[in-house]
Amino acid sequence: MRKPEPSGKNNSNNKLRKGLWSPEEDDKLMNYMLNNGQGCWSDVARNAGLQRCGKSCRLRWINYLRPDLKRGAFSPQEEELIIHLHSLLGNRWSQIAARLPGRTDNEIKNFWNSTIKKRLKNLSSTPSPNTSDSSSDAMEALNINPACRQDSGMLSMYMDSSPTSMQSQWNNIHRAPLPVLEHGLNVFGANGYLNSSSQCMTQMGIIGGCDGFFGDHNNGGGGGGGVLLGVADNIGAEGELFVPPLETEESFKSERSIHGRNCNNGNYFNTSTNTNNVVAKINNSDNVKSENLAGGVESCFQDDQDQLIIGDWDFEDLMKDVSSFPFLDFQ
């Protein structure tokens, strides 16, 4: 944290403030954003009467003021998901955050660096006496569900999940049975395997009841900041979860060029590599609306060449089975 600059100091000139945000500044930004929505950030800063740069306003909004933010400690399930996603994505915090709605990249990054990394370090410095089952012990210490303690190269990725390591592990992981979360929900699709075909790694899609995960507790789980596949207006009275798909292998290798902007800018949660297809808008109110659905659900996993990248994952089947999905209790 940084000391807030004395407010009087910069009022006399046009110098921009830095450091901690005061409650007054927060109020100004919050009110402006709620009344006007997101625009050009430098305009936001100016029009809201803040002596901050647009960048600073954006950061404050995204990391702290956004109404859809989930506060509080990470649940074991979230932790597990973070560990797994990090093993797949490396330090792509924004992409990991995109799959943990209500959490920010900064939050996840801090959590990783302060908590998980340390735990991994401790693990590696205190090897189990039973060396034959050290991976199991590590999984234990990492609180990984026994169901995913498989000899699939996963552990080494937890221990060394640099992008380089990721690449080298690719052949292992994308053919490996994938972890099952605590409640038995395989987040990687019906068959539990990543598809090793050229276009498809995308198997991950959950729509499961998880009351409160997105919901606004104060409003009965109306879904403040809920993120969903835009199928119908105001989905998620009980708070529904859609964990967006991971990228294709190709996009894994060049994610920036494919995703570019708007992956998750705080107001829009883009579930697609094609921004014209499905964009679920996170409203500031309790309602979650979908818009720009002309492309239909089926097209939401098409790449720029209109090729389906959804692979074996059958959305219709998934939708059919939604009711049977177990809870993903992230509370």
Partner DNA sequence: AACAGTTGCAACCGCATCGGG
Partner DNA sequence: GCCCGATGCGGTTGCAACTGT
Stretch that binds DNA, among 48-56, 153-161, 219-227, 311-319 (CB under 7 A): 48-56
Check binding of 320 to DNA (CB under 7 A).
no
Check binding of 160 to DNA (CB under 7 A).
no
CA dihedral 48, 32, 69, 284 (to 10 degrees): -160
Collapsed DSSP state (helix, strand, coil) of residue 304: coil
Check binding of 217 to DNA (CB under 7 A).
no
Q: Is the alpha carbon torsion for 154, 159, 162, 168 positive or negative? A: negative
Among 21, 170, 213, 330, binds DNA (CB under 7 A): 21
Check binding of 111 to DNA (CB under 7 A).
yes
Check binding of 305 to DNA (CB under 7 A).
no
# of chain residues touching DNA (CB under 7 A): 44
What distance, in Å, lies between the first and last C-alpha atoms of the chain? 28
Check binding of 28 to DNA (CB under 7 A).
no
Query: Whole-angstrom Cα distance, residue 303 to residue 93?
Result: 22
**Binding-residue pattern over the window 59 to 78 for DNA, x denoting contact by CB under 7 A:** xx--xx--------------
Which bin fits 102, alpha (ψ -120 to 50), beta or left (φ > 0)? left
Check binding of 257 to DNA (CB under 7 A).
yes
Query: Whole-angstrom Cα distance, residue 95 to residue 53?
Result: 25
Residue 193 phi, psi (nearest 5): -125, 145
Alpha helix (H) ranges present in 1-75?
7-11, 23-36, 41-47, 54-60
Among 51, 77, 87, 94, binds DNA (CB under 7 A): 94
- Between the alpha carbon of residue 83 and those of residues 86, 100, 287, the distances in Å are 5, 12, 31
Among 28, 30, 33, 56, binds DNA (CB under 7 A): 56
Check binding of 327 to DNA (CB under 7 A).
no
Neighbours of 73 (CB within 10 A): 9
Check binding of 10 to DNA (CB under 7 A).
no
Q: Least distance (Å) from DNA to the CB of residue 220?
A: 26
Check binding of 41 to DNA (CB under 7 A).
yes
Stretch that binds DNA, among 130-138, 176-184, 257-265, 287-295 (CB under 7 A): 257-265
Check binding of 93 to DNA (CB under 7 A).
yes
Between strands 279-282 and 268-270, the pairing is: antiparallel
Nearer to DNA, 54 or 220 (CB): 54
Nearer to DNA, 106 or 285 (CB): 106
Q: Provide the token pair at 165.
A: 């390591």
Query: Whole-angstrom Cα distance, residue 189 to residue 185?
Result: 9
Stretch that binds DNA, among 6-14, 16-24, 176-184, 235-243 (CB under 7 A): 16-24
Check binding of 92 to DNA (CB under 7 A).
yes
Q: Least distance (Å) from DNA to the CB of residue 185?
A: 26
Q: Least distance (Å) from DNA to the CB of residue 315?
A: 24
Check binding of 40 to DNA (CB under 7 A).
yes
Element (H, E) at 171: helix 163-173
Contact 228, 290 (CB under 8 A): yes
Nearer to DNA, 87 or 94 (CB): 94
Collapsed DSSP state (helix, strand, coil) of residue 294: coil
Collapsed DSSP state (helix, strand, coil) of residue 146: helix
Nearer to DNA, 235 or 246 (CB): 246
The distance of Cα 78 from the centroid of its chain, to the nearest Å, equals: 10
Check binding of 209 to DNA (CB under 7 A).
no
**What's the DSSP call for residue 61?**
I
Chain positions contacting DNA, by CB under 7 A: 1-3, 17-21, 39-42, 54-56, 58-60, 63-64, 91-95, 105-107, 109-111, 113-115, 118, 256-257, 260-266
